[in-house]
Amino acid sequence: MYRLEKVDYKNILKIDSLHIRGREITFIEGESGSGKTTLLRLLNKMITPDRGSIFFKNTPISTINSVLLRRRAVMLSQEPVIFQGNIRENLLIGLKFSERAPVSEKDLSAMMTLLHLEKSLDDPVVKLSGGEKQRIALGRVLLMDPEVLLLDEPSSALDEDTEHLMIEALVSFTKDRGKTLVMVTHSKKIIEDFPTRIIQLKKNTAYDDKEVDRPC
């Protein structure tokens, strides 16, 4: 899916060689400042490397239209944007921006169940907690149905029990639909509980060359 060769970005990230396989779940971990978010931004072409090459499905990412790439590989930041209005409008706005048809009320209700949100679609988002807003933003991305999900600590505002439920649902969603998930996480428990491939980043040296593959 993604291949990085001799990639440098400022003094933040230095990657000799890295392959992120398609239709798999990859967790990225590392201390603060090790370049986890930077790596996601490089994969989404929000920033470009100072040196080296990044390939998406064997095509140089530099030759791919940025808008089209971001429709295929959608990134969700740790502090996602929430728009004025109600929950329904916030769930649908990603489809609107990507020029896709809206989904049905049944699909929206199913997404609310997946997100473990016991709210009405008509509830105003201004009354939601930080964790609830984070889940709405995640639901918006899932409804866009991209090939690749690039998620930057999507459960950081949740308590441990809710986080576990959310990641469990997200992993099932990814596997059931044959998607590729690349997720930054700070949670050792999440990494321990969900068998996956792990990429470890280290500050200054940036890429550890250590990939831990666990059988799913």
Cα end-to-end distance, the chain, whole Å: 19
- Looking at residue 171, what is its pLDDT? 94
- Looking at residue 104, what is its pLDDT? 97
- Looking at residue 29, what is its pLDDT? 92
Superfamily (CATH) of domain 2-213 = P-loop containing nucleotide triphosphate hydrolases (3.40.50.300)
- Looking at residue 207, what is its pLDDT? 53
- Looking at residue 79, what is its pLDDT? 86
Distances (CA, A) of 86 to 89, 91, 120, 127, 151: 5, 9, 9, 10, 23
Residue segments in the chain with a per-residue pLDDT below the cut of 70: 204-216
- Looking at residue 209, what is its pLDDT? 44
- Looking at residue 102, what is its pLDDT? 94
- Looking at residue 83, what is its pLDDT? 96
CB count in 10 Å sphere of residue 7 = 22
Q: Where are the domains of the chain?
A: 2-213
Distances (CA, A) of 184 to 17, 58, 67, 77, 83: 19, 23, 23, 10, 24
